[in-house]
A and B are shown apart, each in its own frame.
Chain A
Amino acid sequence: MITIKNGRILDPSNNIDEILDLTIENGVITQLGKNLPTAEDSQVINAQNMWVVPGLIDMHVHLRDPGYRHKETIKTGTKAAAMGGFTTICPMANTNPVTDNEIVVEYILSKAQKEGVVNVLPVGSVTKAMAGQELSAIGEMAAAGICAISEDGKFVENPALLKTAMTYAKMFNLPVLSHCEDPRITGSGQINAGKYAEKIGLKGIIPESEEIAVARDIILAKATKSKLHICHVSTAAALQHIRNAKAANIAVTAEVAPHHFTLHDEDIPPYNANFKMSPPLRSAEDISAIKAALQDGTIDVIATDHAPHHEDDKNCEFEQAQNGIIGLETAVPLSITELIEPKILTPLQWISKLTCNPAKILNLDKGTLTVGKIADVTIINPNIEYTIDKQKFVSLSKNTPFDGRKTKGKALYTIVAGKIIVNAGELVC
């Protein structure tokens, strides 16, 4: 039995923001109330001045297993998740082999069972081998336990094929998570098109690459009445399309990655590939639009797009470097520093984007502190000063642009199904 005392309970699923105690027994949340008596055999966590929240859900990560275990394994990736406060993560399908059939899904789930320390809910690909030609085994993967389908990392170029996939996935109640960037518009672009790209002579990626893709996918979501979720939105223009679609009652949701509300293109040290990702870091104006969209609910979810890469994939010519940065261990401090401290979001608004909102999109019985539910709980100290140090990351990869950055706030306890995985900032498994 675990008793969490005197914490500020932030549970957006029940609209609770109150100092309460919480008890966990046999992996389930058993009581929530003021000054709960502490049973003799109970392990007590004093959460005074801390936030007690539903276990965080990251609906967009890359775990690299199968295929690239030198970058990340399910063991190291789930440990990094726990250290970042996440109790559930959804690895994308661009593994090798691609997660396009139930055998790969079962491999990931059994690996997660054996060596994982948080919940792992795989995402299946839209097309076989992510080649954009034939549908993956969507139904069989649904039966095996995927939570969504996505071609993430790639864009399904053929709109007729995506429409078919959306129509088909809807029967299995699976949302389609769409990486909206049309490679025919991106071309050989490397960073956001603008003054800075001109200065350092890298080819620019125009925002229309994302905007056109988002607009197209919204049209297909409207036509199919399927659930569409736009991954890692980076531009003001795309956000406006999403806002309009929501107003028109189209079933579209959207996420943003912490790097896209923290950094803009001019923050990139010349040719430093730890700042290279897809979509790219955009302009300061886009960051303002992202913050406004977080406030008005146009953006439902914060997800890291945790993308581990080996140093050899980053310490090379910028154009040769792989896209993506790791994010599991920096999402909470960056969010608190960039969104909570400047009062862009209330703590409850912020937590909803990491708990009940992704749970709703993925149809998960998670993201809540309701009594009787499985005890996935995270405790965050929002006031702790934390200088990001990549050498201390438990992720197998260190590709972050945030090394040395001063932030505020950190997850100190991560509890998965009643089991303490991170205790006072230390992994205990």
Chain B
Amino acid sequence: MQTKKDLLGIKNLTAEEILMLLKMAKAEKPKVKNPMLRDDSLRQISMATLFYENSTRTKLSFLLAGDYLGAITNDLNISTSSVAKGETLIDTGLTLDSMGINIIVIRHSMAGSAKLLAENISAAVVNGGDGSNEHPTQALLDLFTIWEHKGSFDNLKIAILGDINNSRVARSNVFGLTKLGANVTLAGPATLVSSNIAHLGVTITNDITKAISDADVIMGLRVQLERQKAAYFPSLPEYANFWGLNESHLKYAKPDAIIMHPGPVNRGVEISTNLIDGNRSVIYPQVENGVAIRMAVLKYLSNVGAKTGENVIKLL
């Protein structure tokens, strides 16, 4: 297995690489909640988060993952940085390169921005979400959570519900789950589930009951209020009425189905409050796994990040 310089998307990873990262995350996971187990294995690594879009939880998750492994962590506050003065992404990246940063985690509103950065600098780049393209660490933590609960991916039925068109989480999960042998059904209003998505090797439907039937895993996606304003559906109550997950749906799923959500969740819209707080929900274990998976990713990339310039294999 070749070491890759960057983590840009799940579509660039093989099934073996995904499983390796899940195994690495399993080894790191005890360190998340037990301070005694944390170490300083990444003390020679300097990392920076470069978030052009607001996100508190993903950014914090990355920074804590670095901290728990002893890395030097920095958050580049975009609004107060030179980016606000019109500096290009590449120039910002080269500046961080010059300061000796080894790993950059970028979140950006435009698809392909992580790749653009990675191709133009020596530091390792982790895609923390680029437009509607990918959010690979979210998918990895989702896969890790599914793997913990189901033991394998073979022939699992996964239902992903919500705003599929605009979701990088859905896209990354689709690439990962299909590579690992699961069957994916995407469901939501037709205005948010393009028929072109079926080409990615998934089933699409507008009927949430059909999507959930015999599902092992039900994943809700956050619905943005902006979509209603852009007239993709009439109102959040109508959305919840037709595509929100509630107890009445559960009888269609497998008895041991788990309920997931990448957060932050709109209670009563994507998923009813009872289900969020109920025993099928793995929403908080997902958050814990998020730190573990990011520790694994940082460790994996630090092999390369520490010796930028030599033997760097670019992941395109």
Contacts and interface: CB of A to CB of B under 8 A. Distances in A.
A317 B116 contact: yes
A171 to B, nearest CB: 42
A197 interface: yes
A383 to B, nearest CB: 36
A183 interface: no
B168 interface: yes
B110 A317 contact: yes
B130 A201 contact: yes
Given A198-B197, A200-B133, A201-B168, A316 B88 contact: yes
Contacts of A317: 89, 108, 110, 112-113, 116
Contacts of B20: none
Interface string B87-122: 011100000000000000000101111011000100
A316 B116 contact: yes
A4 B108 CA distance: 59
A202 interface: yes
A405 interface: no
A315 B112 contact: no
Nearest to B111: A201
A222 interface: no
B268 interface: no
Nearest to B120: A315
Contacts of A204: 194, 196
A195 interface: yes
A319 interface: yes
B316 to A, nearest CB: 8
Interface string A178-209: 00000000000010011101111111100000
A201 B90 contact: no
A203 to B, nearest CB: 7
B11 interface: yes
A264 to B, nearest CB: 15
B171 interface: yes
Interface in B77-95: 88-90
Contacts of B199: 194-195, 198-199
**Most chain A CB within a 10 A radius of its CB, from B90, B108, B131, B168:** B131
Contact of B194 (A190, A198, A202, A312): A198
A270 interface: yes
Interface in B104-148: 108, 110-113, 115-116, 120, 130-134
B110 A319 contact: yes
Interface string A305-322: 000000010011111100
Nearest to B166: A203
A200 B112 contact: yes
Contacts of A172: none
Contact of B133 (A194, A202, A312): A202
**Most chain A CB within a 10 A radius of its CB, from B108, B110, B316:** B110
Given A201-B132, A202-B133, A204-B194, A318 B89 contact: no
B54 to A, nearest CB: 18
Contact of B11 (A195, A199, A203): A199
Nearest to B89: A317
A271 B89 contact: no
Nearest to A320: B110
B230 to A, nearest CB: 9
Contacts of B90: 315-316
A201 B130 CA distance: 9
A271 B116 contact: yes
A318 B111 contact: yes
B1 interface: no
B225 interface: no
Contacts of A194: 196, 199
A193 B196 contact: yes
A197 B171 CA distance: 12
A201 B134 contact: yes
Contacts of A197: 196
B36 interface: no
Nearest to B130: A201
A319 B194 contact: no
Contacts of B171: 198, 201
Nearest to B230: A187
Interface string A250-277: 0000000000000000000011000000
Contacts of B88: 312, 316
B166 to A, nearest CB: 9
A201 B166 CA distance: 8
B128 to A, nearest CB: 14
Given A198-B199, A201-B168, A271 B115 contact: yes
B111 A195 contact: no
Nearest to B117: A317
A193 to B, nearest CB: 7
B196 A200 contact: no
B196 A195 contact: yes
A199 B197 CA distance: 8
B131 A201 contact: yes
A258 B108 CA distance: 34
Contacts of A195: 196, 199-200
**Most chain B CB within a 10 A radius of its CB, from A190, A270, A312:** A270
Given A271-B116, A316-B116, A202 B196 contact: no
A198 to B, nearest CB: 5
Interface string A289-303: 000000000000000
A271 B196 contact: no
Contacts of A312: 88
B112 A270 contact: yes
28 contacts: A195-B196, A195-B199, A197-B196, A198-B200, A199-B199, A199-B200, A200-B112, A201-B112, A201-B131, A201-B133, A201-B171, A202-B111, A202-B131, A203-B132, A204-B196, A270-B112, A270-B115, A270-B316, A271-B116, A312-B88, A315-B90, A317-B110, A317-B112, A318-B110, A318-B111, A319-B110, A319-B131, A320-B110
Query: Which 5 pairs from chain A and chain B are nearest by CB?
Result: A201-B133, A271-B112, A195-B199, A201-B111, A317-B110
Given A201-B130, A201-B168, A319-B110, 16 more contacts: A194-B196, A195-B200, A198-B171, A201-B171, A202-B111, A204-B194, A204-B196, A270-B115, A270-B316, A312-B88, A315-B90, A316-B116, A317-B116, A318-B110, A318-B112, A319-B131
